[in-house]
Amino acid sequence: MILTADRRNEHFDERSAELLKSCEKLARESFRMSTMRLLFFLASLLFLIPYIVAFRFFVLLIPGILCFVTFVFFVIKHIRINNNLTYYKTLQAVHDEYIARTVHAFESLPDDGGDFGSANHDYSADLDLFGHGSLFHLLCTAQTFFGRKKFCDLLVSSSDGLQSPKDVINRQEAASEFSSDLWRMQSFQAEARIHCRKILGPKLFLDHISRPESFGSGIGIVRLIAYGCLTAVMWVAFLISVVLQVNLYPLVFAILIIQLIITAVYYNRNKLVFHSTEGIHRELSGYRYLFEKIENSEVKSLLLSNIRAQMLDHDETRGGKASDQIRKLNTISFMIQIRNQPLLFLLLNTLFLYDVYCLYFLNQWARRSGPALSENLESLGEWEALGCLTMMGVIYPECVFPTFRRAENMNHVAYFSARDMGHPLIPIYRQVRNDFELSKGIALVTGSNMSGKTTLLRTIGINAVLAYAGAVCCAEKLELGMMRIGSSMRISDSLEGGLSSFYAELLRIERIIKRSREETPLLFLIDEIFRGTNSKDRTEGALLVIKNLMKPWVVGLLSTHDYQLCEATRNEKDISFFHFSETYDEDGIHFDYRLSSGVSTSSNARYLMKMVGIE
């Protein structure tokens, strides 16, 4: 584990120099191989063309053949060198992205997870989990669809309330193990980027293998033998007709027609199967390579060991090693790909009933290994997602994994306490860190515009998300209970949905209140409650919300400018008050973003209006 930022940067600089040196060396070797293959190709032409065209001297043939064989040797060697060069260039790009993450250079990171964003989720939009500059954008190193999806699931897992501290601690151990060998992680990511280029993966095929009976429907071993005999009769009749001059051509022609009819029947019945399998052999080859990397890994943590054991399948209860399973499927997929050419399709099926055999072998594979493929790909996704969690420790090497409060009484599980906590999406040189503890009830947060109220709510929420995912949190110390998260922060009207911003906020808050009635621990975050209505309704509405959320298993923060609300709740024993403040001088307004106890009494709206020219 890298212990300090300085030590991390030193390691990264050394790694960058090593990768650059390797790329330059391979580029020079590639140029030499290119030159050598050209020279020997020209030399082979110099000897072979005169031999073929004019002289026919044997003395020209031998050196010509030797030069051509040497040319082929250099071609093969050049291909290998170029493959290594591609690998090291990809590895260098992956490493550069690690460095970009440490300085929050989002423009250099390729995957922002925007396709996973949802305005209807309990908290993902409010806490900037997906999209440009998001937590996903900062941390995601997954290269396959399955890894990206699994990492997304980890970030939004707090909404289902089904996790246990043990699940999270297991992920922490796996992430910690990965962090001890970052270069191994980078190698895996580079290989995945090279070999698995389709962002959605073989989704259509996976849909079919969930129903293995659909593959090669109606083709059993007896029928396959019958079809084989039919083809054999046709070829025997053809040979007898040619060799013995016996006219069996009508029989040959009749069998050809029958085989065309059989091909048409099976094609129409299984065209979706063919379509789902065509063109995925390259992708499958990439997944096989990643499976082999996992199978050959030496790991100790429980989750990583379980994934590796599943891939290896020593007792063959799931069809054997994952890499062997997918290798066989890759061969079948390649066979199906061959028939994609119309002329080959016609010849192969007319003469050999090629589709029938493809469907039969695909059916046999699906029944034996089909269910395991989806599980293995999900495990690959989990492997990659655990690697994504490691990135928080790389970016913030001096921060820690959170701990989880446990209690027999669920009333004590709703808890959040942090020391020196910052927002992980803010570069460290701009962070202002705060201590915060909420052991029960509701915290009302007040302060002027732009003073830091919303950032505090997001900081607490996003660190809770990291904690439940299994990552290092952006804090010196963090302890919390296992809670669901609900938020109401980014609220906008919807012309399409016919919703005003106020009504949209009501729906979000109603969802939080509904969650609170389930008697499971809940952390809620409500920013500027009911900002879209008049002061009287805002105060009365906020008091009603607080009344509904004052439950032993609920804790949360509510930011507001409504000082009447603070006055009305001042004597409530389970409500605490925090605020941010600012100072003014001749240079303007200054925010320190430091959280303090109590209620703010300042307002800077008039000052800010004056700053922009509204007086």
- Give the pLDDT confidence of 518-528 residue by residue, as tens digits: 888 999 999 98
Distance separating alpha carbons of residues 383 and 191, to the nearest angstrom: 14
More confident residue, 133 or 50: 133
Distance separating alpha carbons of residues 106 and 16, to the nearest angstrom: 19
Q: What percent of the chain has pLDDT over 70?
A: 89
pLDDT at 1 over 50: no
The whole-number average pLDDT for the span 99-113 is 95
pLDDT at 615 over 80: no
pLDDT at 272 over 70: yes
pLDDT of residue 150: 95
Backbone dihedral region for residue 346 (phi beyond 0: left; psi -120 to 50: alpha; all else: beta): alpha
Distance separating alpha carbons of residues 287 and 323, to the nearest angstrom: 8
- Token output for 206: 């996976």
Instruction: Determine which helix (DSSP H) or strand (DSSP E) holds 576, and give its type and residue range.
Output: strand 575-579
Model pTM?
A: 0.88
The whole-number average pLDDT for the span 507-515 is 92
Residue corresponding to tokens 């299994």: 470
Give me the phi and psi of 320, to 5 degrees please: 100, -175
Distance separating alpha carbons of residues 440 and 443, to the nearest angstrom: 9
- Token output for 12: 């990264």
**pLDDT band with cut points at 50, 70 and 90 for residue 99:** very high
**What order do you get walking across the sheet with 522-526 strand by strand?**
484-488, 522-526, 554-559, 441-446, 575-579, 596-597
- Token output for 211: 């129903």
- Token output for 482: 């296992």
C-alpha distance from residue 243 to each of 235, 252, 507 (Å)? 12, 14, 85
248-260 in b/e burial notation, b at 16+ Cβ within 10 A? beebbeebeeebe
SS3 29: helix
SS3 491: coil
**pLDDT band with cut points at 50, 70 and 90 for residue 201:** low
Distance separating alpha carbons of residues 272 and 268, to the nearest angstrom: 9
Distance separating alpha carbons of residues 481 and 522, to the nearest angstrom: 9
pLDDT at 411 over 60: no
> Where do the DSSP E strands lie in 375-515?
403-404, 416-421, 434-438, 441-446, 477-480, 484-488
Instruction: Determine which helix (DSSP H) or strand (DSSP E) holds 554, and give its type and residue range.
Output: strand 554-559
Identify whether the C-beta of residue 113 lies closer than 8 Å to the C-beta of residue 136: yes
User: pLDDT (tens digit, 9 = 90+) per residue, 111-145?
Assistant: 999 999 887 888 999 999 999 999 999 999 999 98
pLDDT of residue 576: 94
The whole-number average pLDDT for the span 296-300 is 94
The whole-number average pLDDT for the span 154-160 is 80
For the chain, the residue count is 615
pLDDT at 586 over 50: yes
Q: Is 120 exposed, middle or buried (0-12, 13-18, 19+ CB in 10 A)?
A: exposed
CA quadruple 530, 533, 539, 540: dihedral, nearest 10: -100
The whole-number average pLDDT for the span 178-182 is 92
Task: Residue 482: name the closest of 173, 175, 157 by CA.
Answer: 157
**pLDDT band with cut points at 50, 70 and 90 for residue 3:** low
Where is average pLDDT lowest: 308-312, 344-348, 446-450? Answer: 446-450
**pLDDT band with cut points at 50, 70 and 90 for residue 497:** very low
Q: At what angle do helices 249-277 and 342-352 cross, to 10 degrees?
A: 130
Where is average pLDDT lowest: 13-17, 236-240, 273-277, 561-565? Answer: 273-277
Contacts 24+ apart (CB under 8 A), 566-571: 566/444, 566/446, 566/599, 568/539, 568/543, 569/444, 569/543
pLDDT of residue 602: 64
- Token output for 365: 């594979």
pLDDT of residue 407: 66
